[in-house]
Amino acid sequence: MWSKKKIIDSLSPFTLLDFEQYPSCIIWFNGCNMRCDYCHNPDIVLKKGTYSFAQLIPFLKQRKNLLKGVVLSGGEATLHKEIYNICKYIKSMGFKIKLDTNGLNPQVLEKLLKDDLLDFIALDFKTSKANFFKITKNKEYEKFIESLRLLNNSKIDFEVRTTYHNSLLSKNDIKEILEVLQKYKYSKTYYIQKCLDSVPTLLNIPKNTISKEFFKQFNDKYNFEIKYRNFDY
């Protein structure tokens, strides 16, 4: 039933941080259709895989009664043709599923949502339309917008988040993101997460310096809450 294709880089056996309220493991899928300069997982994006999904099944069976959730991360999990069957199998074992995605595969998302195979989605909103290619090396901004609209019109619990690095994104990029979220009636919490200096990145980028004042610019005229991650204040 399962292909022997090695599409998975590694498995983090336990996290309490990634999938709120559910003790989970994380499956890291290889490959990505973006090449973000600040990517924190360059090996996962560039390297060939180490495991097929079938090789992880014994682990999942063993942890069936100990873990509540499985996080599908990467890389970009939706790139892999097997992702539908993988989600179906994981759900049949009783796990909740969280998907981390860059939103470039709205058709895959739609299918997974239609068949109720996901419980939470973290959607990366990389940057403004004008700078999308510069940051991601991918021109398919409209596909991301399609995913955003799809999630906004669905019942799935999800969050939109942006990784912020002050030499790559500007105040105007964030403002445009906020306006787009407002336009599509986003009503959940929007997270701006600081790009960390302490981990390897795809390209060499300067230190991420940012002042408290930066955030004062984003007032509360929006219909959703804005929160910050990995910032010390």
**Using alpha carbons only, what angle is made at residue 10 by residues 6 and 14, rounded to the nearest 5 degrees?**
140
Instruction: Tell me the three state secondary structure of residue 143.
Output: helix
Q: Which amino acid is at 21?
A: Q
Site membership for ligand SF4, residue 9 (CB under 6 A): no
DSSP 31-78: --S---TT-S-HHHHHSPPSB-GGGGHHHHHHTTTT--EEEEEES-GG
Residues 167-226 that bind ligand SF4 (CB under 6 A): none
> Smaller CB distance to ligand SF4: residue 119 or 140?
140
Provide the minimum distance between the beta carbon of 122 and ligand SF4 in the complex, in angstroms, as a whole number. 11
| Options 22, 49, 53, 75; binder of ligand SF4; rule CB under 6 A | 75
Provide the minimum distance between the beta carbon of 34 and ligand SF4 in the complex, in angstroms, as a whole number. 4
Q: Supply the DSSP symbol for 24.
A: E
> Smaller CB distance to ligand SF4: residue 34 or 97?
34
Selected range binding ligand SF4 among 11-19, 35-43, 60-68, 145-153, rule: CB under 6 A:
35-43
Count the site residues for ligand SF4 by CB under 6 A.
11
C-alpha distances out from residue 37 to 11, 66, 140, 180, 212, Å: 24, 37, 17, 23, 24
> Smaller CB distance to ligand SF4: residue 97 or 123?
123
Q: How far apart are CA 1 and CA 204, in angstroms?
A: 42
Per-residue x/- marks for ligand SF4, 38-57, CB under 6 A?
A: -x-x---x------------
> Smaller CB distance to ligand SF4: residue 93 or 130?
130
Selected range binding ligand SF4 among 5-13, 71-79, 165-173, 220-228, rule: CB under 6 A:
71-79
Contact of 229 with 191, CB cutoff 8 Å:
yes
Selected range binding ligand SF4 among 31-39, 50-58, 86-94, 151-159, rule: CB under 6 A:
31-39
Site membership for ligand SF4, residue 74 (CB under 6 A): yes
Contact of 80 with 29, CB cutoff 8 Å:
yes
Site membership for ligand SF4, residue 32 (CB under 6 A): yes
| Options 10, 11, 18, 35; binder of ligand SF4; rule CB under 6 A | 35
Q: How far apart are CA 11 and CA 52, in angstroms?
A: 11
User: Where is 192: in which H helix or E strand?
Assistant: strand 189-194
Q: In the numeric block, which tokens belong to residue 8?
A: 């998975």
Site membership for ligand SF4, residue 109 (CB under 6 A): no
**Which positions touch ligand SF4 (CB under 6 A)?**
32, 34-36, 39, 41, 45, 74-76, 102
